[in-house]
Amino acid sequence: MRYKDKTTTLGIRMAVWLSAFLFVTGCSSGKRYNLTAEPNYSLGTMWFDAPVDTSAQVDVFYIAPTCIWDWKDQDGKTYYHMDVDNPKQRGRVDGSIRLAHALFGKYCRFYSPYYRQVTMQSWTVAPEETERRYAVAHEDVVRAFDYYMTHCNAGRPFILAGHSQGAKAVIELLKHSLTPQQHENMVAAYAFGYTVSRQELEKYPLFRPARDSLDCGVLICYNSVSSPGAVSPLFGENAVCINPLSWRTDTAYAPTGRHIGAVFFDGKGGMDTLRHRIGVRIDKNTRTLIVDGLDDDAYYIPSIGELFPKGNYHVQELNLYFLNVQQNIAQRIAAFRSE
Protein backbone atom coordinates (compact mmCIF):
# COMPACT_ATOMS: atom_id res chain seq x y z
CA MET A 1 0.00 0.00 0.00
CA ARG A 2 2.95 2.36 -0.44
CA TYR A 3 2.72 5.43 -2.63
CA LYS A 4 5.06 8.03 -4.03
CA ASP A 5 4.45 11.30 -2.23
CA LYS A 6 3.40 13.89 -4.79
CA THR A 7 2.40 16.46 -2.20
CA THR A 8 2.30 20.01 -3.55
CA THR A 9 4.46 22.52 -1.75
CA LEU A 10 3.39 23.74 1.66
CA GLY A 11 3.29 27.34 0.48
CA ILE A 12 0.83 26.59 -2.32
CA ARG A 13 -1.46 24.53 -0.09
CA MET A 14 -1.37 27.15 2.67
CA ALA A 15 -2.24 29.87 0.16
CA VAL A 16 -5.18 27.86 -1.14
CA TRP A 17 -6.48 27.18 2.36
CA LEU A 18 -6.08 30.76 3.53
CA SER A 19 -7.74 32.09 0.37
CA ALA A 20 -10.73 29.87 1.03
CA PHE A 21 -10.77 30.96 4.67
CA LEU A 22 -10.60 34.66 3.88
CA PHE A 23 -13.38 34.30 1.33
CA VAL A 24 -15.64 32.60 3.85
CA THR A 25 -14.99 35.07 6.66
CA GLY A 26 -14.93 38.17 4.49
CA CYS A 27 -11.63 39.27 6.02
CA SER A 28 -9.22 40.75 3.50
CA SER A 29 -6.23 41.40 5.75
CA GLY A 30 -6.88 39.32 8.85
CA LYS A 31 -7.32 40.62 12.36
CA ARG A 32 -4.13 41.12 14.35
CA TYR A 33 -3.75 39.00 17.47
CA ASN A 34 -1.12 38.78 20.16
CA LEU A 35 0.80 35.64 19.20
CA THR A 36 3.81 33.74 20.41
CA ALA A 37 6.38 32.42 17.95
CA GLU A 38 5.14 29.81 15.49
CA PRO A 39 6.34 26.26 16.21
CA ASN A 40 9.33 24.88 14.33
CA TYR A 41 8.30 21.30 13.62
CA SER A 42 11.82 20.22 12.78
CA LEU A 43 12.43 20.36 16.55
CA GLY A 44 11.51 17.29 18.54
CA THR A 45 10.31 19.53 21.37
CA MET A 46 7.37 20.63 19.22
CA TRP A 47 5.98 17.09 19.30
CA PHE A 48 4.47 15.16 22.18
CA ASP A 49 7.18 12.95 23.63
CA ALA A 50 5.82 9.45 23.06
CA PRO A 51 7.83 6.28 22.50
CA VAL A 52 7.72 5.24 18.85
CA ASP A 53 6.86 1.60 18.24
CA THR A 54 9.02 0.93 15.20
CA SER A 55 7.31 -2.43 14.71
CA ALA A 56 3.96 -0.74 14.01
CA GLN A 57 3.13 -0.65 10.32
CA VAL A 58 0.58 2.18 10.60
CA ASP A 59 0.94 5.76 11.89
CA VAL A 60 -1.53 8.03 13.63
CA PHE A 61 -1.35 11.82 13.35
CA TYR A 62 -3.32 13.08 16.35
CA ILE A 63 -4.46 16.67 17.01
CA ALA A 64 -5.29 17.65 20.59
CA PRO A 65 -8.54 19.25 21.82
CA THR A 66 -9.03 22.70 23.34
CA CYS A 67 -7.32 22.77 26.74
CA ILE A 68 -6.22 26.42 27.05
CA TRP A 69 -8.07 29.51 28.30
CA ASP A 70 -7.46 33.17 27.49
CA TRP A 71 -4.27 34.28 29.19
CA LYS A 72 -2.19 37.42 29.73
CA ASP A 73 1.55 37.98 29.51
CA GLN A 74 3.60 40.03 31.96
CA ASP A 75 2.66 43.21 30.08
CA GLY A 76 -1.05 42.51 30.46
CA LYS A 77 -1.62 41.59 26.81
CA THR A 78 -4.40 39.06 26.24
CA TYR A 79 -3.76 35.98 24.12
CA TYR A 80 -6.36 33.79 22.41
CA HIS A 81 -3.89 31.10 21.36
CA MET A 82 -1.67 28.63 23.17
CA ASP A 83 1.98 29.39 23.88
CA VAL A 84 3.51 26.07 22.81
CA ASP A 85 6.71 26.82 24.77
CA ASN A 86 4.89 27.41 28.06
CA PRO A 87 5.32 24.37 30.36
CA LYS A 88 2.10 25.03 32.30
CA GLN A 89 0.05 25.27 29.11
CA ARG A 90 1.67 22.12 27.77
CA GLY A 91 0.76 20.41 31.01
CA ARG A 92 -2.91 21.20 30.37
CA VAL A 93 -2.70 19.66 26.91
CA ASP A 94 -0.57 16.62 27.69
CA GLY A 95 -3.25 14.72 29.60
CA SER A 96 -5.55 14.63 26.58
CA ILE A 97 -2.69 13.55 24.31
CA ARG A 98 -1.72 10.76 26.74
CA LEU A 99 -5.28 9.49 26.54
CA ALA A 100 -5.08 9.41 22.74
CA HIS A 101 -1.69 7.71 22.89
CA ALA A 102 -3.17 5.01 25.11
CA LEU A 103 -5.99 4.58 22.60
CA PHE A 104 -4.04 4.54 19.34
CA GLY A 105 -0.53 3.67 20.46
CA LYS A 106 -1.35 -0.02 20.86
CA TYR A 107 -1.43 -0.38 17.07
CA CYS A 108 0.17 2.79 15.66
CA ARG A 109 3.28 4.92 15.65
CA PHE A 110 2.06 8.03 17.41
CA TYR A 111 2.69 11.61 16.21
CA SER A 112 1.05 14.61 17.88
CA PRO A 113 2.23 18.21 17.37
CA TYR A 114 1.88 21.09 19.78
CA TYR A 115 0.09 23.91 17.99
CA ARG A 116 -1.24 27.36 18.81
CA GLN A 117 -4.74 26.12 19.48
CA VAL A 118 -7.45 28.69 20.13
CA THR A 119 -8.63 29.16 23.68
CA MET A 120 -11.88 27.90 25.18
CA GLN A 121 -13.39 31.40 25.17
CA SER A 122 -12.78 31.60 21.42
CA TRP A 123 -15.68 29.19 20.92
CA THR A 124 -18.12 31.56 22.65
CA VAL A 125 -17.62 34.56 20.35
CA ALA A 126 -19.27 35.15 16.96
CA PRO A 127 -18.60 32.26 14.53
CA GLU A 128 -16.76 34.55 12.12
CA GLU A 129 -14.38 35.61 14.89
CA THR A 130 -13.87 32.00 15.97
CA GLU A 131 -12.85 31.15 12.42
CA ARG A 132 -10.44 34.09 12.22
CA ARG A 133 -8.73 32.95 15.40
CA TYR A 134 -8.75 29.32 14.34
CA ALA A 135 -6.93 30.18 11.10
CA VAL A 136 -3.74 30.67 13.15
CA ALA A 137 -4.14 27.28 14.79
CA HIS A 138 -4.76 25.58 11.49
CA GLU A 139 -1.70 27.11 9.85
CA ASP A 140 0.32 25.31 12.52
CA VAL A 141 -1.54 22.03 11.98
CA VAL A 142 -0.95 22.15 8.22
CA ARG A 143 2.75 22.82 8.68
CA ALA A 144 3.01 20.00 11.23
CA PHE A 145 1.19 17.59 8.93
CA ASP A 146 3.42 18.60 6.03
CA TYR A 147 6.53 17.99 8.15
CA TYR A 148 5.17 14.63 9.31
CA MET A 149 4.43 13.55 5.74
CA THR A 150 7.80 14.69 4.43
CA HIS A 151 10.07 13.50 7.24
CA CYS A 152 8.26 10.85 9.31
CA ASN A 153 5.65 8.92 7.35
CA ALA A 154 7.93 7.07 4.90
CA GLY A 155 4.97 5.81 2.88
CA ARG A 156 3.23 3.96 5.72
CA PRO A 157 -0.57 3.85 5.94
CA PHE A 158 -1.79 6.41 8.46
CA ILE A 159 -4.79 7.41 10.55
CA LEU A 160 -5.87 11.02 11.06
CA ALA A 161 -7.41 11.62 14.47
CA GLY A 162 -8.46 14.50 16.67
CA HIS A 163 -10.86 15.48 19.42
CA SER A 164 -12.92 18.67 19.63
CA GLN A 165 -10.76 21.46 18.11
CA GLY A 166 -8.47 18.66 16.96
CA ALA A 167 -11.42 17.03 15.20
CA LYS A 168 -12.10 20.31 13.41
CA ALA A 169 -8.47 20.25 12.30
CA VAL A 170 -8.92 16.73 10.93
CA ILE A 171 -11.99 17.86 9.01
CA GLU A 172 -10.18 20.91 7.61
CA LEU A 173 -7.22 18.76 6.53
CA LEU A 174 -9.63 16.52 4.64
CA LYS A 175 -11.23 19.56 3.02
CA HIS A 176 -8.14 21.42 1.90
CA SER A 177 -4.83 19.65 2.44
CA LEU A 178 -4.81 15.93 1.69
CA THR A 179 -3.72 15.00 -1.80
CA PRO A 180 -5.49 12.12 -3.58
CA GLN A 181 -2.36 10.02 -3.06
CA GLN A 182 -2.36 10.72 0.66
CA HIS A 183 -6.06 9.94 0.95
CA GLU A 184 -5.45 6.63 -0.80
CA ASN A 185 -3.01 5.77 1.99
CA MET A 186 -5.29 6.92 4.82
CA VAL A 187 -6.81 4.06 6.80
CA ALA A 188 -9.50 6.31 8.31
CA ALA A 189 -10.09 9.68 9.95
CA TYR A 190 -11.45 9.70 13.51
CA ALA A 191 -12.96 13.11 14.30
CA PHE A 192 -14.29 12.78 17.86
CA GLY A 193 -16.63 15.49 19.07
CA TYR A 194 -17.13 17.83 16.15
CA THR A 195 -19.70 18.45 13.44
CA VAL A 196 -20.04 18.00 9.69
CA SER A 197 -22.96 19.62 7.90
CA ARG A 198 -24.88 18.22 4.96
CA GLN A 199 -23.56 21.06 2.80
CA GLU A 200 -19.99 20.01 3.61
CA LEU A 201 -20.78 16.41 2.69
CA GLU A 202 -22.01 17.55 -0.69
CA LYS A 203 -19.10 19.92 -1.34
CA TYR A 204 -16.03 17.92 -0.32
CA PRO A 205 -15.37 14.63 -2.11
CA LEU A 206 -13.04 13.25 0.59
CA PHE A 207 -15.89 13.30 3.11
CA ARG A 208 -17.08 9.70 3.05
CA PRO A 209 -18.82 8.92 6.35
CA ALA A 210 -18.16 5.46 7.78
CA ARG A 211 -21.03 3.00 7.31
CA ASP A 212 -19.69 -0.02 9.20
CA SER A 213 -16.70 -1.25 11.20
CA LEU A 214 -14.45 -2.12 8.26
CA ASP A 215 -14.71 0.54 5.54
CA CYS A 216 -11.49 2.46 4.90
CA GLY A 217 -10.64 5.99 3.82
CA VAL A 218 -13.73 7.14 5.71
CA LEU A 219 -14.64 9.74 8.33
CA ILE A 220 -15.71 8.47 11.76
CA CYS A 221 -17.53 11.18 13.70
CA TYR A 222 -19.91 11.29 16.66
CA ASN A 223 -21.10 13.44 19.58
CA SER A 224 -22.58 12.05 22.80
CA VAL A 225 -25.42 13.35 25.00
CA SER A 226 -27.98 11.89 27.39
CA SER A 227 -30.85 13.67 25.62
CA PRO A 228 -31.29 15.81 22.48
CA GLY A 229 -31.65 18.90 24.64
CA ALA A 230 -28.01 18.59 25.71
CA VAL A 231 -26.58 18.96 22.19
CA SER A 232 -23.95 21.70 22.09
CA PRO A 233 -24.98 24.93 20.34
CA LEU A 234 -21.80 24.48 18.30
CA PHE A 235 -23.08 21.27 16.72
CA GLY A 236 -26.66 22.07 15.75
CA GLU A 237 -26.32 21.22 12.03
CA ASN A 238 -24.53 17.89 12.33
CA ALA A 239 -25.17 15.31 9.60
CA VAL A 240 -22.58 12.60 10.34
CA CYS A 241 -22.78 10.04 13.13
CA ILE A 242 -21.95 6.39 13.68
CA ASN A 243 -22.69 4.27 16.76
CA PRO A 244 -19.34 3.08 18.20
CA LEU A 245 -20.98 0.13 19.95
CA SER A 246 -22.54 -1.36 16.80
CA TRP A 247 -20.76 0.57 14.00
CA ARG A 248 -24.13 1.25 12.41
CA THR A 249 -25.57 4.54 11.23
CA ASP A 250 -29.26 3.78 11.75
CA THR A 251 -31.22 4.48 14.94
CA ALA A 252 -31.12 0.91 16.30
CA TYR A 253 -30.30 0.75 20.00
CA ALA A 254 -27.00 -0.88 20.96
CA PRO A 255 -27.44 -2.36 24.47
CA THR A 256 -24.90 -2.42 27.28
CA GLY A 257 -23.78 -5.89 26.23
CA ARG A 258 -22.15 -4.29 23.19
CA HIS A 259 -20.17 -1.89 25.36
CA ILE A 260 -16.71 -3.44 25.71
CA GLY A 261 -15.61 -0.75 28.11
CA ALA A 262 -15.00 2.87 29.04
CA VAL A 263 -11.53 3.73 30.32
CA PHE A 264 -10.55 6.61 32.59
CA PHE A 265 -7.06 7.53 33.75
CA ASP A 266 -6.09 9.47 36.86
CA GLY A 267 -3.23 11.92 37.15
CA LYS A 268 -0.90 9.23 38.47
CA GLY A 269 -1.37 6.84 35.55
CA GLY A 270 -3.95 4.65 37.25
CA MET A 271 -6.71 3.22 35.06
CA ASP A 272 -10.37 2.50 35.78
CA THR A 273 -12.35 0.40 33.30
CA LEU A 274 -16.17 0.41 33.24
CA ARG A 275 -17.46 -2.56 31.27
CA HIS A 276 -20.98 -3.03 29.88
CA ARG A 277 -22.04 0.27 31.41
CA ILE A 278 -23.80 2.23 28.65
CA GLY A 279 -26.31 1.70 25.86
CA VAL A 280 -26.34 3.95 22.80
CA ARG A 281 -28.64 4.92 19.93
CA ILE A 282 -28.48 7.63 17.27
CA ASP A 283 -31.09 10.37 17.44
CA LYS A 284 -32.55 10.75 13.96
CA ASN A 285 -33.11 14.49 14.13
CA THR A 286 -29.82 15.68 15.63
CA ARG A 287 -27.59 12.85 14.32
CA THR A 288 -26.17 12.58 17.83
CA LEU A 289 -25.50 9.62 20.11
CA ILE A 290 -28.04 9.27 22.92
CA VAL A 291 -26.31 7.55 25.84
CA ASP A 292 -27.95 5.93 28.85
CA GLY A 293 -26.46 4.45 31.99
CA LEU A 294 -24.49 7.50 33.16
CA ASP A 295 -25.03 10.12 35.86
CA ASP A 296 -25.20 13.52 34.16
CA ASP A 297 -24.12 15.34 37.31
CA ALA A 298 -20.93 13.29 37.60
CA TYR A 299 -19.72 14.36 34.17
CA TYR A 300 -20.93 17.96 34.08
CA ILE A 301 -18.25 20.68 34.02
CA PRO A 302 -19.84 24.04 34.95
CA SER A 303 -16.95 26.13 33.59
CA ILE A 304 -17.80 25.02 30.04
CA GLY A 305 -21.55 24.66 30.57
CA GLU A 306 -22.30 27.43 28.07
CA LEU A 307 -20.88 25.23 25.32
CA PHE A 308 -21.56 21.77 26.76
CA PRO A 309 -24.62 21.73 29.02
CA LYS A 310 -25.42 19.08 31.61
CA GLY A 311 -25.96 15.78 29.83
CA ASN A 312 -23.35 16.53 27.17
CA TYR A 313 -20.37 14.14 27.20
CA HIS A 314 -18.09 16.07 24.86
CA VAL A 315 -15.09 15.93 27.18
CA GLN A 316 -15.42 12.15 27.60
CA GLU A 317 -15.84 11.14 23.93
CA LEU A 318 -12.59 9.12 23.87
CA ASN A 319 -13.10 7.64 27.33
CA LEU A 320 -16.66 6.35 26.97
CA TYR A 321 -16.05 4.01 24.03
CA PHE A 322 -12.32 3.50 24.57
CA LEU A 323 -12.17 -0.29 24.18
CA ASN A 324 -14.75 -0.35 21.38
CA VAL A 325 -12.80 2.23 19.39
CA GLN A 326 -9.48 0.55 20.12
CA GLN A 327 -10.86 -2.72 18.77
CA ASN A 328 -12.14 -0.86 15.71
CA ILE A 329 -8.73 0.69 15.04
CA ALA A 330 -7.32 -2.83 14.73
CA GLN A 331 -10.26 -3.91 12.54
CA ARG A 332 -9.86 -1.03 10.09
CA ILE A 333 -6.09 -1.50 9.90
CA ALA A 334 -6.58 -5.19 9.09
CA ALA A 335 -9.22 -4.35 6.49
CA PHE A 336 -6.95 -1.74 4.90
CA ARG A 337 -4.01 -4.10 4.69
CA SER A 338 -6.14 -6.80 3.10
CA GLU A 339 -7.30 -4.54 0.25
**pLDDT, tens digit, 9 for 90 and up, residues 53-70:** 889 999 999 999 999 999
Residues 100 and 152 in one domain: yes
Q: Which pTM was predicted? A: 0.90
What residues pair up with 168 in beta bridges, in sequence order? Answer: none
For residue range 150-175, list pLDDT tens digits in order: 999 999 999 999 999 999 999 999 99
Distances, alpha carbon 308 to alpha carbons 127, 314, 315, 320, in Å: 16, 7, 9, 16
Residues 319 and 239 in one domain: yes
Q: Where are the beta strands (DSSP E) in the chain?
A: 59-63, 71-72, 78-79, 109-111, 158-163, 186-192, 218-222, 224-225, 262-265, 271-274, 279-283, 288-292
pLDDT above 90: residue 8: no
Residues 142 and 35 in one domain: yes
The CATH number of the domain holding residue 177 is 3.40.50
For residue range 219-276, list pLDDT tens digits in order: 999 999 999 999 999 998 999 999 999 999 999 999 999 999 999 998 777 899 999 9
**156 within some domain:** yes
Return the percent helix, strand and coil in the chain, to nearest 5.
40, 15, 45
Residues 164 and 253 in one domain: no
CA distance 230 to 185: 37
In degrees, rounded to 5, the angle at the alpha carbon of residue 147 between the alpha carbons of residues 143 and 149 is: 115
Residues 103 and 234 in one domain: no
Residues 177 and 53 in one domain: yes
Which of 174, 192, 210 delimits the end of a domain?
A: 192
CA distance 233 to 220: 21
Tell which residue, 69, 58, 175, has the closest CA to residue 122: 69
pLDDT-above-70 percentage for the chain = 91
Query: Cβ distance 62 to 152 under 8 Å?
Result: no
If one counts the domains in the chain, the total is 2
pLDDT at 31: 63
Residues 176 and 69 in one domain: yes
Residues 265 and 186 in one domain: no
Side-chain-side CA neighbours of residue 85 (13 Å): 8
CA distance 62 to 162: 5
Residues 15 and 153 in one domain: yes
Which of 192, 211, 237 delimits the end of a domain?
A: 192
Which helix (H) or strand (E) segment holds residue 317: the answer is helix 317-320
Write down the mean pLDDT value for the chain: 92
Residues 39 and 164 in one domain: yes
Residues 157 and 232 in one domain: no
For residue range 79-135, list pLDDT tens digits in order: 999 999 999 999 999 999 999 999 999 999 999 999 999 999 999 999 999 999 999
> Domain limits at 309?
222-339
pLDDT at 258: 98
Residues 267 and 122 in one domain: no
SS3 at position 164: coil
